[in-house]
Chains A and B, each alone.
Chain A
Amino acid sequence: DGGITQSPKYLFRKEGQNVTLSCEQNLNHDAMYWYRQDPGQGLRLIYYSQIVNDFQKGDIAEGYSVSREKKESFPLTVTSAQKNPTAFYLCASSRRRQFNTEAFFGQGTRLTVV
């Protein structure tokens, strides 16, 4: 079955550590996205990528980094510079970044700082 796989489902991070969230898709989509979700705030875009080896900052990129070495994969690193990383992180993909194209979402990773 085609879809988007995020791992792990739950992740705990100590203060000062970097952690990497995995996102893999087998939908053959060109565009991939990372969103952060906090209660009552909807989803906010962290980074997006339209093609391999290219990515752009979203609205809240500070403290995060990404790579897009393969079409199928778009990992997100939450660095120690991110002051408030506890949140639910959602990866998404679409055939291309186009105004009338819907995005497909993974099941999310819940990150907690301990």
Chain B
Amino acid sequence: AQSVTQLDSHVSVSEGTPVLLRCNYSSSYSPSLFWYVQHPNKGLQLLLKYTSAATLVKGINGFEAEFKKSETSFHLTKPSAHMSDAAEYFCVVSSNAGGTSYGKLTFGQGTILTVHP
């Protein structure tokens, strides 16, 4: 079984300040982890992914995430927020279990990021 918990449903920051979106996961197998971003009434766009290579993963638009196995975390960060970063962010874990669960994506509940001028 696998699960994802996004620890904050809403995060509010000022433009130019750091962003931290927190994600904890649970997986019986070595996971692959993803962060997606969704702007209102749009589809999801991949920001970055971790697939058992380097634990610090760099993505698009200045975002990065660090895989910490001991803490079962995959937090998303950005040094300086921009107004265009305002959106909803989803942390996703993919199953490496066998059978019909293989490759199944489990989504967190989402974190809405608000950026103030």
Contacts and interface: CB of A to CB of B under 8 A. Distances in A.
Q: Do A and B come from one complex?
A: yes
B104 interface: yes
A110 B40 CA distance: 12
A45 B106 CA distance: 9
Interface residues of A, number: 28
B49 A97 contact: no
Contacts of A6: 43
A99 B42 contact: no
A40 interface: yes
Q: How large is the interface on B (under 10, 10 to 19, 20 to 34, 35 or more residues)?
A: 20 to 34
A57 to B, nearest CB: 9
A104 B49 CA distance: 13
Nearest to B112: A40
Interface string B37-62: 00001111110010110000000000
Given A99-B94, A100-B32, A45 B104 contact: yes
B77 interface: no
Interface in A71-114: 88, 90, 92, 94, 96-108, 110
B45 A41 contact: no
13 contacts: A41-B109, A42-B108, A42-B109, A42-B110, A56-B100, A96-B103, A97-B103, A99-B102, A100-B32, A100-B51, A106-B43, A107-B43, A110-B41
Given A42-B108, A98-B103, 5 more contacts: A42-B90, A42-B107, A45-B104, A90-B43, A97-B103
